[in-house]
Structures are given as C-alpha cells and as structure tokens.
Amino acid sequence: MSKTRTGQFTIGFRRGGGWQRDLEALIAWAKANDFGAIDLGCDAPTAGKAVLESKLRIGSVDLPEMQRMISKDKARRKDAIARNAAHIEACAPLGPINHFLVMLPEDPGLPRAENFGYMVEGFSQLAPVMEKHDAHLVIEGWPGPGALCCTPETYRAFFKECPSKAMGVNYDPSHLIRTGIDPLRFLGEFAERACHIHGKDTELLSERLYEYGNLQPAAFAEPFGFGEQCWRYTIPGHGQMRWSEGFRILEKAGYRGCVSVELEDANFNGTEAGEKLGLNLGRRFLEGC
C-alpha cells in the first residue's frame, strides 16, 4: 500500500466516472496499483462495504445536499439538513467518515455575509449528528459561484461561529494556488482542522498571465481544460505546490488521514489509459514527498 515518504499518509484517489463506475473492477485496479484508499460519492452507504471488505480505506464520501444547506428558505434548509443527517446515519456502520462538500449557496447573487449566516445556521444544526458518529465535514475551498469557506477569512469565521470539532477542512492546495493564497501558510493556520487531503496541483502560466491578465477571458485564445487562460489544474508534481513541506506541517499537527489524488488534468483526463496513467504518476510522485 502506497504511502507518502513524509508522514506515511495513505495514498488513494477520488473516484470519477467512465471506467471508474464499475466498483468491483475499480477496487481490483486500485489494489493492483498499490493504492490504499478510494473517495466515494453519495453511494457510500452501499459502495462503502465493498471498499472496506477489500482492505482499502474510505478517504471521504460526498454529502448529497450542498446548496440547499445554504438557502434563504428555512424550509429548504430544514429538508437539506434532514437528508444529510439521514445520509450520515446510513454511513455510520462504515466507521468514522469524512463527509465532503463545497460551500456553494443556493443563490450566489445574495450578499456573501447573508449567505454566510444561512450556512452557519444550517451546519450548526447538522453538527450534533456528525459528533454522534465521530464523523467530520471536510470542506473543499473550490471558489465556485458565491462559494464560502474558500479563503482564510471565511474558513476562520465559520469555525468561530460553528466551533464543533466535527467541522473540518478538505485541504486542496490547487484552489488556493489559483486564487493567489499561499497554500503552506494556509496549512500552517488550519492544519488542526485538516481531515482529508486532495492530491491536486495548479500550474501558473506566467507568459499567458502577461498576455491575457487574470480579470477577463481572453478574446481569442481558448482556455485550458480544467483551467483558465493563465492557470490549469495538474496532477501532483506538475504544479507549484511544495508537497513535502505541506506533509511536514500535517505530520507535526498529527494528521492521520489519506491523500487522495483528484485527477483534473487536461494532459491525462479523457481516456481510460490516460486517466490510469495520471493517477499512477500522481501516486508515484507523492510516494517520494
């Protein structure tokens, strides 16, 4: 089973579509290629047992409700809380689980501070069921439309208002890098909240930044797949992240979770052979970090 050189963290990957939908075949491929964990989607209550029986770890599972958790409509929030709580209960037999989501509001056009209040109210009500089952919410900082908890400001404010230790971070340096936030400084501040890690990186393209800037789309040039005109997501080792230093910070903070390669790289996505190569190259790089 592959582990990182620093910290001895189990290396896995986030399950995608296409050839990865066949769970039995995916598990066999993961074991044959020395992966130790798989991140699952909303099907975890049924798929999780097969993963554990194969002696693999479950890195994280997706919560079924995201945007309605941050809805202006109290009834819609209540329904989303109930559905997520039922999902957490259904996953409980699998053991302590990391529940993954992005803090995307239902209406990104509302003021961010207003949506922040709905977020705090919703997740404060969800925290007790997570605490009951020793589960963690792992929040990825993808800066999507109106997203909250994707900057130090909003993570910090959320943990202040919702201090439950069940509230955690899905550390993905690729999103921090593309938005100009120092990923190691962020980890220094929030390492104790880190419950799951995505092995994904970002390449910054200085020549294209000069040519097109970062405030407007290019007039003629096409953006990259899994990126924009002056940056692109990559597998670990093909971007800017100093992974060994990040793992040292995590090791010092007592991190014991997984590092799951999340394959979003135009150089590898799109074919089964390319995706298998990308996952394996990411794993091999992380083994040396």
User: Are 278 and 264 spatial neighbours (Cβ–Cβ below 8 Å)?
Assistant: no
Q: How many domains does the chain have?
A: 1
5 in any annotated domain: no
63 vs 137: CA distance, rounded Å: 9
Instruction: Report pLDDT for 236.
Output: 98
Question: pLDDT above 90 covers what percent of the chain?
Answer: 96
Q: What pLDDT is attached to residue 165?
A: 96
- Name the helix (H) or strand (E) containing 150: none
Other beta carbons within 10 Å of 32: 8
Cβ atoms of 244 and 289 within 8 Å: the answer is yes
| Domain of residue 65, CATH code | 3.20.20.150
Distant-in-sequence, close-in-space partners of 56: CB < 8 Å, separation ≥ 6: 12, 27, 30, 31, 35, 36, 37, 38
Residue 269 identity: N
What integer pLDDT is reported at residue 200 of this predicted model? 98
Q: Is residue 2 part of a domain?
A: no
pLDDT on residue 217: 87
Is 169 contained in some domain?
yes
Question: Can you list the residues of the chain whose pLDDT is less than 70?
Answer: none
Q: Are 258 and 7 in contact (CB under 8 A)?
A: no
pLDDT of residue 216: 87
The SS3 call for residue 58 is: strand
Q: What is the pLDDT of residue 222?
A: 83
What pLDDT shows up at residue 188?
A: 97
In a domain, 1, yes or no: no
- Whether 46 maps to a domain, the answer reads yes
Q: How far is CA 14 from the centre of its chain?
A: 9
* pLDDT at 14 (0 to 100): 98
- Find the domain containing 115 and state its range: 10-287
Q: pLDDT value at position 10? A: 98
Are residues 246 and 184 in contact, defined by beta-carbon separation less than 8 angstroms? Answer: yes
- The reported pLDDT for the residue numbered 162 is 97
